[in-house]
Structure 1
Amino acid sequence: MKRAFFGRNGWGRGGRGTGGGQADGCRACADGCSLDALAPGTTCRIRRLMGCGPVRQRLLDLGIRPEREVTVLRAAPLLDPIELRVGDSFIVIRRREAAQIEVEDV
Structure 2
Amino acid sequence: MLLLCPLTAAPEGVPLRVALLSGCGHFRRRLADLGVVPGARMTLVRRGSPVLLALGDARFGLGRGMAERIFVDLDEGEV
TM-score category (smaller protein) = 0.7 to 0.9
> 2:40 aligned with 1:68, yes or no?
yes
- Listed as ranges, the matches of 1:44-59 within 5 Å are 44-59=16-31
State the Cα distance separating 1:91 from its structure 2 match.
Answer: 1.5
Task: Give the secondary-structure state (helix, strand or coil) at the position aligned to 2:23.
Answer: coil
Task: Supply the AA of the counterpart residue of 2:65.
Answer: R
Are 2:49 and 2:64, in contact at CA under 8 Å, matched by a contact in 1?
yes
Higher strand fraction (1 or 2): 2
Structure 1: 4+ residue segments shifted above 3 A: none
SS in 2 for 1:104: strand
Compute the TM-score of the two structures, normalised by the length of structure 2: 0.81
CA RMSD of aligned residues (A): 1.4
Per-residue CA deviation, residues 34-83 of structure 1 (Å, 9 max, x unaligned), is 111123212210112111132221111111011111101123xxx21111
Structure 1 portions without partners, runs of 5+: 1-30
Q: In structure 2, how many angstroms separate the alpha carbons of the residues matched to 1:53 and 1:93?
A: 17
Q: Percent identity?
A: 36
1:105 to 62, 66, 74: 74
* Amino acid in the other structure paired with 2:29: Q
Number of residue pairs aligned between Structure 1 and Structure 2? 73
Decide which structure has the larger Cα Rg and report it: 1
Q: Which runs of 5+ in 2 are unaligned?
A: none
